[in-house]
Structure 1
């Protein structure tokens, strides 16, 4: 007895959809109309990438920072509604943000 047969036994009244419509995924983060600014700076001689302009909640900001850090394999932090990533990863970060539905704007260099 496979899984489909077991499910039919448990839920005999259920009729599976034939067209295969998959419900839309909820976005991971709160989306906004304004673009997120992606800046490049050097602090104490070391390059950093700064993301500013995110208007969502602090928990969403921290979740986005964590996902970016794990994607890139680098360190970073969130301070004063900014995401600070160690290193110059503007292209990869902007690609990630565009994939998640954000508008981005490249600032500096």
Structure 2
């Protein structure tokens, strides 16, 4: 058997090897308030706005991220049920999310 560094195999003592399709991703539940954080650690000084607390599945998160990126005119991604938008303009993100009937707070930085 060859070792494949790109393989994401998981082993459980109960069931043995688990394929990625067997692992369920649980949507984290929040308190109903969306928080927009400003982060620059580990990004070579480039600031990003991280939107946390959205209780949406991955498909809906990606759709919302696309809409926000288009409105802001910048890039971004979805990681670990958080949306990262490559902008420091948190006020614009807050107003866009409030138009979509979310309760939004600016947190950190």
Interval of TM-score (by shorter of Structure 1 and Structure 2) = 0.5 to 0.7
Give every structure 1 segment of 4 or more consecutive aligned residues whose post-TM-superposition deviation is greater than 2 Å: none
1:44 maps to what in 2? 44
Question: What TM-score comes out, normalization by structure 2 length?
Answer: 0.67
Stretches of structure 1 lacking an aligned partner (at least 5 in a row)? 1-31
Higher helix share: 1
Shift of 1:52: 0.7
> How many residues are matched?
78
1:74 maps to what in 2? 74
Q: Work out which of the two has the higher radius of gyration on C-alpha atoms and give 1 or 2.
A: 1
Stretches of structure 2 lacking an aligned partner (at least 5 in a row)? 1-29
Shift of 1:44: 1.4
Question: What TM-score comes out, normalization by structure 1 length?
Answer: 0.67
Higher relative contact order, chain-length normalized (CA < 8 Å, sep 6+): 1
The answer to whether the 8 Å contact 1:47/1:88 transfers is: yes
**SS in structure 2 opposite 1:36?**
strand
Tell me how far apart the structure 2 counterparts of residues 33 and 79 of structure 1 sit (CA, whole Å).
Answer: 20
